[in-house]
Structure 1
Amino acid sequence: MEHSQATEKPVYKIYKEGAIIVGTFLGGPLAAGYMIAENFKAFQEPQKVRKTWVYAIFATVISLIAIYLIPDEGNIPDYTVPMMYTAMAYSLVGYFQKKAIAEHTQAGGAVFSWFKIICIGLLYFFITLAAGTLVLFLLDSYGFLSADGHSE
């Protein structure tokens, strides 16, 4: 008896919504971009992969600028920016991938382990930290930053 494609168990793994949220909170928009783009590949939507990376890089730059511009003495908690980009990732995954994720899991498809998600989050955290540090170092070495670390 031949099975229809709808009843076959998917052979690829995906990142579920909760996993993307945790990975995003740990690793920032780049971690979100990676996991969302990987899901788009798995869901056979390659045209959305490149756009996802462009938006993730843009969101990372905006997040770093926001973190830089928030005054140290202000009443804004340190977790505000991470909560904002995590909420944005949650909304985007819900809008673009929620249905496909549900279909995948209902069909018995596998999901990536929490260990991998934590590692991805930490990896992209360190990548973002290194890139941000390099940019600040370059800005400082060319005299674009004052002694207090902010632009003149």
Structure 2
Amino acid sequence: MDVQQDNPFQTPQADLQQASASTLPLYRIAAVGLGTFLGTPLAGAWMLAHNLQLLGKADRVAMVWGVAVCLLALTLALAFVLPEEVPTLPFAIGQLLGMVMLAKHLTEADIQQHAAAGGTFLSNWRAAGIAVLFSIAVMVLLFAVLMILDV
């Protein structure tokens, strides 16, 4: 009887398998754009941060949030300063293009590899729902700030 083989307290000799990146669902770049359009750059940043976390690029998440907050703050500041006759659509398009270009720059190659490896993607409907929640949260926050300032 071999003591090493019959030891019930010995750890098993099985190989541990890590979850591969192709098994984790990501958001498409279009979902980041949809989230930005419907729910401010903060929603797009949330989806992009999700992708960056799963792709092992967590060091870039803070930069993404910084860009999103700056885009939103710039747009809100311009909305209060510019006259009402100025159309708002160019500002929404600018935010959209900024976040989509950032998403392409940071994750496009990884997302293409993910798709080529048969990886799964999260639904754009989910992205739209998250965007609506972000939009509601921003509206509530703006309403509260305006009530405090009594504008």
* TM-score interval, normalised by the smaller of the two chains: 0.7 to 0.9
- Please state whether the residue corresponding to 1:13 is helix, strand or coil: coil
Is 2:58 aligned against 1:46? Answer: yes
How far does residue 47 in structure 1 lie from its aligned partner after superposition?
0.8
Does 2:15 match 1:17?
A: no
- Where do 5+ consecutive residues of structure 1 fail to align? 146-152
Contact 1:27 / 1:125 at 8 angstroms: preserved in 2?
yes
The number of equivalent residue pairs is 133
Please state how far the C-alpha of 1:9 moved relative to its aligned partner: 6.9
Give the match for residue 69 of structure 2.
57
Tell me the percent identity: 25
The superposition leaves residues 99-147 of structure 1 with CA deviations (integer Å, 9 ceiling, x where unpaired) of 111111111111111220110110111111111112222222xxxx4xx
How far apart in 2 are the matches of 1:83 and 1:89?
10
TM-score normalised by length of structure 1: 0.80
Q: Say what the alpha-carbon RMSD is for the aligned residues.
A: 1.8
Aligned equivalents of 2:74 and 2:147: distance in 1? Answer: 18
Q: Distance in 1 between matches of 2:21 and 2:42?
A: 30
* TM-score, normalisation: structure 2: 0.80
Q: In the alignment, what sits opposite 1:27?
A: 39
Structure 2: 5+ residue stretches without partners: 1-17
| Greater Cα radius of gyration, structure 1 or 2 | 2
Conservation of the 8 A alpha-carbon contact between 1:64 and 1:132: no
Q: CA deviation at 1:68?
A: 2.0
